[in-house]
Amino acid sequence: MARPKISRRICGRAPYSCFKPNGVPTHSLTQVQLLPEEFEALRLADLEGLSQLDAAAQMQVSRQTFGNIVASARYKVAQCLVHGQALMLNQEMENEQ
């Protein structure tokens, strides 16, 4: 049985729900889901420029967990940019504080 997921503190929201190539209908693209915690990790690490330790403290997770989350988010963003896929931003913020 898998361990239960620990709550993450998420403060940022995406101003849109999808980022995709121009001129291509969303339904014809492969869609990649970016979780709210991944969006928040990108915001803290890449936009705010926080260290992994500081960003992990803000999200209330361990540094290793934060590193895993931001690595997953960066992979998904790169995948979408390189392969012309749609990046779908999940707007549900269950653990928002």
Q: For the residues of the chain, what is the DSSP string, one character each?
A: -PPPPPP--B----SSSEE--TTS-GGGS-EEEEPHHHHHHHIIIIIS---HHHHHHHHTS-HHHHHHHHHHHHHHHHHHHHHT-EEEE----TTB-
Question: Residue 54: which domain range?
Answer: 36-97
Q: How many domains does the chain have?
A: 1
Asked whether residue 70 is domain-assigned, the answer is yes
- Indicate if the alpha-carbon torsion angle 40, 46, 49, 52 is positive or negative: positive
- Look at residue 91 and tell me whether its pLDDT is greater than 70: no
Asked whether residue 11 is domain-assigned, the answer is no
Asked whether residue 67 is domain-assigned, the answer is yes
Asked whether residue 30 is domain-assigned, the answer is no
pTM over 0.85: no
* 88 vs 60: CA distance, rounded Å: 25
- Indicate if the alpha-carbon torsion angle 5, 69, 89, 76 is positive or negative: negative
Q: What is the pLDDT of residues 17-47, one digit of tens each?
A: 888 999 999 999 999 999 999 999 999 999 9
Closest CA to 59 of 8, 5, 7, 4: 8
Asked whether residue 22 is domain-assigned, the answer is no
| pLDDT score for 76 | 97
| pLDDT score for 9 | 62
Q: What is the pLDDT of residues 39-86, one digit of tens each?
A: 999 999 999 999 999 999 999 999 999 999 999 999 999 999 999 999
